[in-house]
């Protein structure tokens, strides 16, 4: 996965989903929004497979831009979920 120019890899010493050929992460199974210090924090989990098996924790921070009168992405952090 690549976010803000930083590439994250998910390496396991086993095949987390041996019967599924999935080349991309799926998102939407778990979506959590919080507000902290006038910033919106979004936490989404990336999954593979039908079960699903979560392999990535993605945290996105939005900060309000007064010039554009909108929230803009300030930071994206990606962390592998260890099994």
**Residues 62 and 76: beta-carbon distance below 8 Å:** no
Quote the number of domains for the chain: 1
**Residue 24 confidence (pLDDT):** 78
Domain extent for 50: 2-80
**Residue 19 confidence (pLDDT):** 62
**Residue 36 confidence (pLDDT):** 92
pTM: 0.70
The 10s digit of each residue's pLDDT in 6-33 is: 777 766 565 655 566 667 788 888 999 9
What CATH number is given to the structural domain containing 8? 3.10.450
CA 28 → CA 17, 25, 47, 68, distances in Å?
Answer: 19, 10, 9, 28
Query: Which of 1-10, 20-29, 49-58 is least confident?
Result: 1-10
| Mean pLDDT, rounded, for 57-64 | 94
């Amino acid at each position: 996965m690549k976010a803000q120019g930083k590439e994250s890899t998910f390496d396991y010493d086993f095949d987390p989903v041996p019967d599924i050929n999935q080349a991309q992460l799926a998102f939407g199974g778990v979506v959590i929004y919080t507000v902290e210090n006038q910033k919106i924090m979004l936490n989404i989990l990336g999954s593979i497979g039908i079960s699903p098996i979560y392999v990535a924790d993605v945290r996105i921070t939005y900060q309000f831009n007064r010039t554009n009168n909108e929230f803009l992405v300030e930071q994206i952090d990606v962390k592998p979920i260890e099994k």
